[in-house]
Structure 1
Amino acid sequence: MRFLRQYRLWVFTAFLFVAGTAAAQYYELPEDEERTNRIHFQLINNLMVIPMEVNGASLNFILDSGVSKPILFNISDQDSIELRDVSKITIRGLGNGEPVDALRSLGNTFRINSLKNLNQELYVVLNKEMNFSSSLGIPVHGIIGYDLFRDFVVEINYNRQFIRFHDPQTYQSKNRKDEVTLPLTVTKNKAFLHGSVVVDSQGEIPVKLLMDTGSSDALWLFPDAEKGLSIPEKHYEDYLGKGLSGTIYGKRTKIRQVRLGDFILNDAKTAFPDMESFKLATNLGDRNGSAGGELLKRFNMIVNYPGQQITLSKNALFDKPFQFNLAGIELEHAGIRYIAERIAHSNGFVQKDESTYSSVQIMVGSQTRLSLVPEIVVSAIRAGSPAEEVGLREGDVILAVNGKPVHRYKLQEVLEMINYKKGKNIRLLIERYNQDLLFSFVLRDLFE
């Protein structure tokens, strides 16, 4: 059976098994600056992507509250980065595969705007399959989490897509209206939220959830019949994510509600992962699951690890319905292609056309433009999905969705065109073996 990589639900949380400890390392703000620092992030597939300088190299990192130390996993031939004090190690993470080889590097300089750490420990995963850039549509080189959250009070505004780092010694809360402050338990470099869920018809069940900004999924619950966390009758098998030690499968469903403080989210998208993927996790304790990016992005928040509390307020995303992949199709960038377009006027020079998602465009003659664009292909199809039923295949190159050429859109925009509106008729123009084919299907509710 084939499974879809649902919404590219990356799960970066890693458990690092290494010998020895590194010297103390902290992020600092310059003394002559205002004691806060604000950065813009890109919100892609519910993940926060932030710019980070590592030993002078400009890279992109996912801000992942579930990871202990920074991990690099996509260093290509085009990237040049100096690593210091390097040794070989083995690391383990979620998934049912084997531990992976990695490098451990000490004494690195990390900088984000004026924040800097001159003695940062990091890990480099050597497995080339750990490359998520093709599925996110932009270069992503690694993940970083605990070290930033540890040293600051972190203000995350999902609505306006910025993060502000506050000095915990001088930070003063503003006690805004309609916000709720909850306890945040920080244990072994990880933060846990306390809330409750209603799975089916029974009452509220208290749950302890890992705060996991590095997962693009909404809510994971660990099956526990004794506690009342049983898998609802209406569900389907799905690919849930990719950990450092392999793939993670489970049951995709939705539950009646999830509550955090006074905030209630109804019909919450939920997955019950197969616990075999957690066999390497020896520290689950009383944890009942995870709260990921699709749930967390509905709040603006003040995350205070030093004070062990989190302040939540609803934002404009709060009432948005949870997104299910109704088509059962996954797309990713797979190389590049040239496209030729007829134009009305030309000045004969290389130029940029904002209607085309391309940085390279060449004028040929007076009426033809060649553009170098990412090639978008079908990378996986869920068994029994509308896309599979009409005959779409992995490897098909997507050319247009409902008559709209896909080269004019970002990868995530193309996914939204295809997947998210029940009852919508989808027409995909694809290329297969140098032949153009047209497929049509209707998006349907997965639980009806």
Structure 2
Amino acid sequence: MKKSCYFLWILWLLSNLAFSQGKFYVQNDKETDKIKFQLVNNLVILPVEINGVTLSFLLDTGVSKPIVFNIFNISDSLKIKKTEKVFLRGLGEGEQIEAYKSEKNMFRVGDAINLNQDLYAIYNADLDFSSKLGFPVHGIIGFDLFKDLVVEINYAKQYLKLTNPSKYKYKVCRKCELLNLEFYNNKPFVAASIGKENAKIPVKLLIDTGGSDALWLFESDSLGIKSDKAFFNDFLGHGLSGSVYGKRSKLDRFTIGSFNLETTNVAYPDSLFIVYAKKHTSRNGSISGNILKRFNLVFDYKNAIVMLKKNKYFKEPFYYNKSGIELHHNGLRLVREQDDKIDLEKSSMLRNENASNSTRIILNPQYKLTLKPAYAVIELRENSAAYKAGLKINDIILTINGKPAHQFTLQQVMEKFYDDDGKQIKLRVDRKGIILNFNFKLESPLLN
């Protein structure tokens, strides 16, 4: 009897595995699973296992096939078989990125498994989002996960819930709203509107969980989509093909469904950097992490709908970087620290008892050298507070307001630059081996 039950269980497992080949399927009795993620700079970073190796992936509704990069030390373990060379194009000013397509890879996200997943592997060391976020990121995953499962993103509690579509049941939720999705090149678009003075302009926006900004709009005189008179030029972010620059401003109002957000951050990327994105002629821009995180979302690609519910972040004000500094993780540096574990009275020392003046030479001092993260200036906005104070690109931040920079994560350091107007910032930096001190006050860039 036991052998018979065991045999039936094997058949059930094999049938489910066979069914899941080429698609994601949640392999447990409840057919649903919850996965914790890290929210870093409004981006969802979650664990993804590829061919038995667990990596950190960015969840990006704006990407079709998974992309793997930053894998030089583990490429052999991943057992990625290169089948053909391809070229990928993303946002940014650079050229196409060389990649290799790989087939028949095993992907696991929690209990969701795909035994036959295609991916693109990039071996370009210059493409490194980890240094920009100060958090390890080895790849991007999007459409292939969303198309097979109902995906709930709970930004408030930082978990992802994956459910097989046949098992998902919508709960009665009076505070939730269902919106229709449209798809172009496997990317989800949603209708919204922007308010400028007394005008209400309808827009079609890409839902981009892979962007940390609030809202990007493509300027169009004919549609009335253009920046306010109060704006500033700025670095907007990194795409697959390089950096993106443009104008930043404020919107009087942004509306999605029945939800209204006031005084919203908005960016208008220069057309030079978004040529590829504008090939979808009816697209007016993107809605990204700084707005999306204000909702808990349920994506149901099979029925082409997304459900929104306000969460604890909804009423948070929108802030801009008031320093003008953008930092990245610039490797490690040796830092001399006091070692509290060492007792000076018990430490090794040499005594000269016969000398007229007793001398003690401490051979084991109460300090140690440790490797700590280094944060360097990668972008510096012209005429910003930091720019006028004398900061330069490649300066390494040693201390911020008297505290060692390495005591904070990159995100925590950057958050200090979003504080109130007039906040004093004191920086000690290493500029090519020369230690310099700078003081400046945060100031709103929209008042410049």
TM category (shorter chain) comes to 0.7 to 0.9
Shift of the alpha carbon at 1:259? 0.5
Q: Secondary structure at the match of 1:306?
A: helix
Give the alignment's TM-score, normalised by structure 1.
0.87
Correspondence list, 1:273-288, <5 A: 273-281=269-277, 283-288=279-284
Runs of 4+ in 1 over 6 A off after TM superposition: none
Match of 1:185 in 2: 182
Q: Which has the larger radius of gyration?
A: 2
Q: Which has the higher contact order (CA 8 A, sep 6+)?
A: 1
Matched pairs, number = 409
Distance verdict in 2 for CA 1:318–1:432, change over 3 Å = same
**Aligned with 1:299 (options 285, 289, 295):** 295
**Aligned with 1:244 (options 221, 234, 240):** 240
Q: Secondary structure at the match of 1:388?
A: helix
Match of 1:27 in 2: 24
Distance verdict in 2 for CA 1:54–1:177, change over 3 Å = same
Of all paired residues, the percent bearing the same amino acid is 42
Tell me if structure 1 keeps the 8 A contact 2:21–2:115: no
Does 2:414 match 1:418?
Answer: no
Per mean C-alpha deviation after superposition, the further-off stretch among 332-341 and 308-317 is 332-341
Residues 223-254 of structure 1: CA distance to partner in whole angstroms, max 9, x if unpaired? 11121112211111122222223332211111
Higher helix share: 2
Partner amino acid for 1:247?
S
Q: Secondary structure at the match of 1:129?
A: coil
Match of 2:349 in 1: none
Does 2:60 match 1:72?
Answer: no
> Could you list the runs of 5+ residues in structure 1 that have no partner in the other structure?
1-22, 349-363
Tell me if structure 2 keeps the 8 A contact 1:345–1:366: no
In 1, Cα distance between the equivalents of 2:182 and 2:290? 21
Per mean C-alpha deviation after superposition, the further-off stretch among 419-428 and 48-57 is 419-428
Does 2:75 match 1:84?
Answer: no
Shift of the alpha carbon at 1:125? 2.2
Q: Secondary structure at the match of 2:291?
A: helix
Q: CA RMSD in A?
A: 1.9
Residues 188-211 of structure 1: CA distance to partner in whole angstroms, max 9, x if unpaired? 31111111111x313211111100
Shift of the alpha carbon at 1:436? 2.3
In 2, Cα distance between the equivalents of 1:235 and 1:266? 17
Tell me if structure 1 keeps the 8 A contact 2:325–2:386: yes
Correspondence list, 1:323-342, <5 A: 323-342=319-338
Shift of the alpha carbon at 1:140? 0.7
In 2, Cα distance between the equivalents of 1:381 and 1:281? 26
Match of 1:116 in 2: 113
Match of 1:172 in 2: 169
Tell me if structure 1 keeps the 8 A contact 2:384–2:445: no
In 2, Cα distance between the equivalents of 1:69 and 1:323? 33
**Aligned with 2:315 (options 314, 319, 330):** 319
> Could you list the runs of 5+ residues in structure 2 that have no partner in the other structure?
1-19, 345-362
Give the alignment's TM-score, normalised by structure 2.
0.87
Q: Secondary structure at the match of 2:237?
A: strand
Shift of the alpha carbon at 1:281? 4.2
Tell me if structure 2 keeps the 8 A contact 1:347–1:366: no
Q: Secondary structure at the match of 1:389?
A: helix
Partner amino acid for 2:274?
F
Distance verdict in 2 for CA 1:333–1:107, change over 3 Å = same
Q: Secondary structure at the match of 1:48?
A: strand
Match of 2:369 in 1: 370
Tell me if structure 2 keeps the 8 A contact 1:96–1:279: no
Q: Secondary structure at the match of 1:204?
A: strand
